[in-house]
C-alpha cells in the first residue's frame, strides 16, 4: 500500500458516508465529502505519476472506486430528485456493460489489462462536475437551472460515447486474439 493507493481506497470508503448524508438530507455534508473524494481522484493519479507509485492494485482499484463513488452518488441524487432517473440508467448501464464486456474478454482472451481511454477519463471528469453542479443546484431548491440540466445532458453524451469507444477497443482485442 502506498500513498496513491491509499487515496484511492479512501475514495472507495467515502461512498457509503456520502450516500448516508444524502439520505439523511445533509446535502451540504454530502457535497463536501463528494468534492473531497473527487479531489482524491486527481491526487492519487498525480501521486502515482510523480512519485512512481503506479501499481497493478491501483490500476484495478482506481476505476472501481470511481464507479462506486459516482454510481452511488447518482443513485442517491436521483432518489432526492436532483438528477433524472434516465441519466442514472445511462451511467449505471454503461458501467455494468463495461464490467460484463471485461469479464467476457478475461474469459475468452489472454488480455488482462484494460487501461482507461481518454474518453473514459473525460466521461469521469464530466460526471464529477455534473454531480457537484446538480447537488449544489438541488441544495438551493433549483435543480432545473440550465447549468446542471446542460451538464447532465453533456455528461450523458460523454458517457455513451465512452461506452462506444470502449466497445470498439474491445472489438479490436477480440480481432487481435
Q: What CATH code is carried by the domain that includes residue 73?
A: 1.20.120
| Mean pLDDT value across residues 72-96 | 96
Tell me how far apart the alpha carbons of residues 23 and 152 are, in angstroms, rounded to a whole number. Answer: 21
pLDDT more than 90, % of the chain: 62
Quick count: other Cβ atoms within 10 Å of Cβ 90? 19
Burial status of residue 103 (CB atoms within 10 A of its CB: 0-12, 13-18, 19 or more): exposed
**Which carries the bigger pLDDT value, residue 3 or residue 142?**
3
| Mean pLDDT value across residues 159-173 | 93
**Total structural domains in the chain?**
1
The per-residue pLDDT for 60 is 80
The per-residue pLDDT for 109 is 85
Residues 40-60: tens digit of each pLDDT:
988 887 777 888 878 877 878
Query: 123 and 162 in contact (C-beta within 8 Å)?
Result: yes
The per-residue pLDDT for 17 is 97
pLDDT at 143 over 90: no
The runs of H, that is alpha helices, within 51-145 are 56-79, 85-108, 118-139
Residues 31-41: tens digit of each pLDDT:
999 999 999 98
Query: 22 and 30 in contact (C-beta within 8 Å)?
Result: yes
Task: Report the run of H or E that residue 27 belongs to, with start and end.
Answer: helix 27-50
Q: Which domain holds residue 73?
A: 3-176
C-alpha cell of residue 152: 447532465
pLDDT more than 70, % of the chain: 98
The per-residue pLDDT for 4 is 82
Crossing angle of helices 3-23/27-50, nearest 10°? 170
Mean residue pLDDT across the chain: 90
Band of pLDDT at residue 61, cut at 50, 70 and 90? confident
| Mean pLDDT value across residues 153-175 | 94
Query: Whats the size of the chain, residue-wise?
Result: 177
Amino acid at each position: 500500500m502506498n500513498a496513491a493507493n491509499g487515496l484511492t481506497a479512501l475514495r472507495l470508503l467515502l461512498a457509503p458516508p456520502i450516500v448516508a448524508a444524502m439520505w439523511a438530507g445533509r446535502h451540504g455534508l454530502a457535497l463536501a465529502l463528494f468534492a473531497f473524494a473527487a479531489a482524491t481522484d486527481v491526487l492519487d493519479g498525480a501521486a502515482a505519476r510523480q512519485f512512481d507509485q503506479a501499481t497493478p492494485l491501483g490500476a484495478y482499484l482506481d476505476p472501481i472506486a470511481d464507479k462506486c463513488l459516482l454510481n452511488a452518488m447518482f443513485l442517491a441524487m436521483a432518489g432526492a430528485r436532483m438528477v433524472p432517473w434516465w441519466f442514472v440508467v445511462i451511467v449505471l448501464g454503461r458501467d455494468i456493460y463495461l464490467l460484463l464486456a471485461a469479464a467476457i474478454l478475461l474469459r475468452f482472451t489472454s488480455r488482462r489489462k484494460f487501461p482507461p481511454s481518454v474518453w473514459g477519463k473525460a466521461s469521469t471528469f464530466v460526471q464529477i462536475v455534473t454531480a457537484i453542479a446538480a447537488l449544489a443546484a438541488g441544495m438551493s431548491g433549483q435543480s432545473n437551472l440550465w447549468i446542471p440540466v446542460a451538464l447532465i445532458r453533456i455528461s450523458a453524451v460523454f458517457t455513451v460515447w465512452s461506452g462506444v469507444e470502449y466497445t470498439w477497443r474491445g472489438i479490436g482485442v477480440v480481432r487481435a486474439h
